[in-house]
A and B are shown apart, each in its own frame.
Chain A
Amino acid sequence: MKTVNKLLALLLALGMLFALAACGGGTTQPATPATPADPGTTQPATPATPAAPAAAGEIVINFPSIWVGTDSKAAYMSELIDKFNAENAGSIKVVVEEQTDYQAYRDKIRTTITTGSAPDLCILDTTFDIKAYAESGKFMDLTPYLQQGWGNDFADGTFDAWSVDGKTYILPFESAVFTPIYNKTILAAAGWDHFPATYDEFFKMADDVKAAGYNVMGQMAGDNAWSSMLWYSLIVEAIGGKDVYANGLSDPAFVEAAGVLKKMYGYTFDGAVSATAGDVNGHFIGRDTAIYLNGPWWIANFYKEDNAVNGTLLADECEVAVNPAYTGGKGAGGLVTTVQGFLAAAKQDDPNKEAAVIKFLQYVTDPQHVSELALSSGAMFFVKYTPSPDTSVISQKVTEVANNASFTILHVNGAFPTAFSTEFPAAVSALVLGQIDEQGFVDMLQTAIDNAA
Chain B
Amino acid sequence: MKLTRSDRSPLIAFLAPALAIMLVFFVIPVIYVIVVSFLKWNGISAPAFANVTNFLKLFKDKSFVRSVTNNIIWALVAGFIQVPLAMVMAIILSRRPRGWKFFRTVYFFPQVISGIALATLWRAIYSADTGLLNGLLRALGMGDKARDWLGTVETAFPAVLIYWVFYVGYYMVIMMADISTIDSAYYEAATLDGASDFQQAIYITIPLIKKTSLLTCVTLASVLGLRQFEQVYMLTNGGPANTTSTMVLYMYKKMQDTNYGMASATAAILIVVGVIFIVCIRALFTADERTGGKRRRGA
Contacts and interface: CB of A to CB of B under 8 A. Distances in A.
A427 B262 CA distance: 20
Interface of A: 2, 5-6, 9-10, 12-13, 16-17, 20, 24, 106-107, 110, 113-114, 127, 129, 132-133, 135-136, 138, 221-224, 269-275, 279, 417-419, 422, 425-427, 429-430, 433, 435-436, 447-448, 451-452
B150 interface: yes
Contacts of A275: 128, 151
Interface string B249-264: 0000101111110100
Interface stretch (B16-24, B218-226, B286-294): B16-24
The interface centre, meaning the residue of B21, B57, B149, B239 with most chain A CB atoms within 10 A of its CB, is B239
A10 B241 contact: no
A138 B42 CA distance: 14
B81 to A, nearest CB: 25
Given A10-B9, A13-B16, A451-B57, A269 B129 contact: yes
A264 to B, nearest CB: 16
Given A17-B16, A20-B17, A273 B238 contact: no
**Which 7 residue pairs of A and B lie closest in terms of their CB atoms, listed nearest first?**
A271-B128, A273-B151, A274-B151, A114-B43, A429-B240, A430-B241, A274-B150
Interface string B60-75: 0101000000000000
Interface string B229-258: 000000011111110000000000101111
Nearest to A3: B6
B97 interface: no
Contacts of A279: 127
Given A5-B10, A133-B44, 18 more contacts: A2-B6, A6-B10, A13-B17, A20-B17, A114-B260, A135-B44, A136-B44, A221-B239, A222-B151, A270-B129, A271-B129, A418-B256, A418-B257, A419-B257, A422-B257, A426-B238, A430-B241, A435-B241
Given A129-B258, A274-B128, A419-B257, A13 B241 contact: no
A110 B43 contact: yes
A262 to B, nearest CB: 13
Contacts of A106: 256
Interface string B145-174: 000111111001000000000000000000
Contacts of A272: 148, 151
A4 to B, nearest CB: 11
Contacts of A2: 6
A305 to B, nearest CB: 23
Contacts of A9: 9-10, 13-14
Given A221-B240, A222-B236, A6 B148 contact: no
B45 interface: yes
Nearest to B260: A114
Given A425-B239, A426-B63, A273 B152 contact: yes
Nearest to A115: B43
A20 B21 contact: yes
A5 B13 CA distance: 11
A242 B236 CA distance: 34
Given A6-B6, A451-B259, A271 B253 contact: no
Contacts of B262: 451-452
Interface in B3-40: 6, 9-10, 13-14, 16-17, 20-21, 24
Interface in B115-167: 126-129, 148-153, 156
B17 A17 contact: yes
Contacts of B16: 13, 17
The interface centre, meaning the residue of A221, A271, A422 with most chain B CB atoms within 10 A of its CB, is A271
Contacts of B20: 17, 20
8 contacts: A9-B13, A13-B14, A133-B44, A271-B151, A273-B151, A274-B150, A426-B241, A430-B242
Given A129-B44, A425-B239, A429-B151, A16 B17 contact: yes
Given A17-B20, A114-B258, A451-B259, A132 B44 contact: yes
B241 A429 contact: yes
A38 B128 CA distance: 47
Given A9-B10, A9-B13, A433-B152, A274 B44 contact: no
Contacts of A273: 148, 151-152, 239-240
Contact of B42 (A24, A132, A427): A132
Nearest to B237: A223
A217 B177 CA distance: 55
Nearest to A430: B241
Contacts of B156: 274
A85 to B, nearest CB: 32
A9 B12 CA distance: 9
A222 B259 contact: no
Contacts of B10: 5-6, 9-10
The interface centre, meaning the residue of B152, B242, B262 with most chain A CB atoms within 10 A of its CB, is B242
Nearest to A13: B13
A270 B148 contact: yes
B286 to A, nearest CB: 33
A435 B253 CA distance: 21
